[in-house]
Amino acid sequence: MAAALRRTAAPMAAAAVFRLSAPPRHAARLARFLGGASAASSDAAVASGEFVPWHNGGGVLHRAASVDPTAVVEAGAVVHSGAVLGKDVVVGSGAVVGPSVSIGQSTRIWYNVVLSNCSVGEFCTLHNGACIGQDGFGFFVGDDGQMLHVKIGNHVEIGANTCIDRGSWRDTVIGDETKIDNLVQIGHNVVIGKCCMICGQAGIAGSATLGDYVTLGGRVAIRDHVSIASKVRLAANSSVTKDIQKPGDYGGFPAVPINEWRRQTANLRIFSKKDGGRR
pLDDT digits 0-9 by tens, 83-134: 999 999 999 999 999 999 999 999 999 999 999 999 999 999 999 999 999 9
Rg (CA), the chain: 25
pLDDT along the chain (279 residues), means of 10: 45 33 46 42 51 94 96 97 97 96 98 97 98 79 66 98 94 98 97 98 97 98 97 97 98 96 89 67
Q: Is 53 within the bounds of a domain?
A: no
Would 66 be classed as within a structural domain?
no
Residue 46 belongs to some domain of the structure: no
Q: Number of folded domains in the chain? A: 1
* Inside any domain, residue 262: yes
Q: Is residue 36 part of a domain?
A: no
What's the CATH code of the domain at 207? 2.160.10.10
Known active-site residue 55: no
Q: In terms of Cα–Cα distance, which of 215, 246, 217 is closest to 229?
A: 246
Residue 271's pLDDT is 80
- Which residue among the candidates 80, 155, 188, 225 is catalytic per the annotation? 188
Residue 22 lies in a domain: no
User: Domain range holding 130?
Assistant: 116-276
